[in-house]
Amino acid sequence: MTDESLPRSAPQPGKDPAGEPARPPNAARPSFADRRSKRRRNIAIVAVVLVLIVGGVFLWYYLGGYESTDDAQADAHLYPVSARVSGYVVKVNVDDNQWVQKGDTLVEIDPKDYEVAVAQAQANLTSAEATAQSINITIPITSVNTSSDLKSTASGIVNANAGIIAAERQVSAAQAQLEADQANDVKAQDDLVRYKLLVDKREVAQQVYDQALAAAKSSAASVAAASANVAAAQEFVQQARSRAEQADASHLSAETGPQQVSSTRERVRAALADVAQKRALLDQAELNLKYTKIVSPVTGQVNKTVVVGWNVQPGQQLLTVVPLDDVWVTANFKETQLRHMAVGQKAEIHVDSSGKTLNGHVDSLAGATGPLFSLFPPENATGNYVKIVQRIPVKIVLDPGENRNRQLRPGMNVVADVNLR
């Protein structure tokens, strides 16, 4: 059966025989301007979609190259200024929040007691130096005297020993003379006895007997004289020995001279040590006098608590100096934000108080998380452990001239953005 032989269905209302919607009788076909406007609208939609896609890609790339945190504050070293000596505060040269330069005198303590201490230390040093000088002068004199005494006593010993030998020789000579005189006396006495018998028998003349008598008396006198000479010579020997003993004693005493010189040198060393001690005490007294003027350790702004009339003690804090020219930012980034962060990367600091943005760079990353530096660091070895993302302090240093108006001050809140690219 062919398609032509099939029965055709009746056309539905509102549709043409082909089955398409019936066009109103007065409806016109779309014009060329309408088709062109529709095409422009479609192109605009596609362009907007492309711009959004490209913008999204660039925004993702831009945001992916930065890490930001609002857990950041301005920091600086606060320099406490304290007293190094005790005393009465007589003058305070600064007011609250005053700008001072390094080395400016901030507070003055009454210096009178310390001036007296300096004068006393100077007098003690002068006295010690004079004592050391006087002792030092005696060393050459003592050395010369010791050398002279040693030579003199040694010579005295030699002379004394020579005197002993001479005296002993004199004793020997006197003894020999005594023996000779005694022999002559024996002969003379025997002759006298014989001549006495002969003269009694008148066998010899009286004159011969008289001569024999005279010779006997003379020989007896010679014996007595020789005996006296022997005694005198022995006495000379005793005297010579005494002089030798004295010479030995003097030499022994002179031999202690080097020890006396050494002792004098030790006294000089002790005196010099005393001089050094007195000089150190003078230096300390001068330092204490200098410490009565308390100066600023750095350039910055003063926060003072001291007033005139205070009696201060060493170590007591009187002021605090804040160096506003040396302010940096401590930004506490999460540990997950540090994956691509490194020293030297540029950073932007948004200051809450002024709304300004300052430029800087990453100077360093802390060696540990903030809680580990606290008084009681956390202990995670417990049964109820909960993992918490930790934060690492990052030091951001401002570029030169960024804080020249000193509006960024320690403790201010800021927002830190670090460019990771």
DSSP 244-259: HHHHHHHHHHHHTHHH
For the chain, domain boundaries:
67-76+322-419, 80-109+292-320, 114-282
Helix (H, G, I), strand (E, B) or coil at 418: strand
The C-alpha atoms of residue 339 and residue 61 are separated, in whole angstroms, by 16
Tell whether domain 80-109+292-320 is in CATH 2.40.50.100: yes
DSSP state of 379: -
Using one digit for the tens of pLDDT, what is the confidence trace for 65-123? 788 999 999 999 999 999 999 999 999 999 999 999 999 999 999 999 999 999 999 99
pLDDT, tens only, 255-264: 565 666 666 6
pLDDT in tens, 19-44: 445 555 554 555 667 767 777 788 88
Distance CA 76, CA 323 (A): 7
Check whether domain 67-76+322-419 has CATH 2.40.30.170, yes or no:
yes
pLDDT tens per residue across span 324-349: 999 999 999 999 888 889 999 999 99
Residue 62: pLDDT over 90: no
Q: For residues 324 and 403, is the Cβ–Cβ distance under 8 A?
A: yes
**Whole-number Å distance between alpha carbons of 79 and 340:** 35
Evaluate whether 100 touches 106 at the Cβ level (below 8 Å).
Answer: yes
Q: Which residues contact 356 (CB under 8 A, 6 or more apart)?
A: 350, 407
- pTM across the whole model: 0.58
- Asked if the model's pLDDT at residue 60 lies above 80, the reply is no
Residue 172 pLDDT class (50, 70, 90 cuts): confident
Closest CA to 76 of 317, 360, 406, 368: 406
Q: Taking residues 159-166, report their average pLDDT.
A: 70
Which CATH fold topology does 114-282 show? Helix Hairpins (1.10.287)
Q: Residue 54 — very low, low, confident or very high, per pLDDT cuts 50/70/90?
A: confident
For the ranges 175-184, 311-320, 333-342, 371-380, the one whose mean pLDDT is highest = 311-320
Average model confidence (pLDDT) for the chain? 80
For the chain, what percent of residues have pLDDT higher than 90? 39
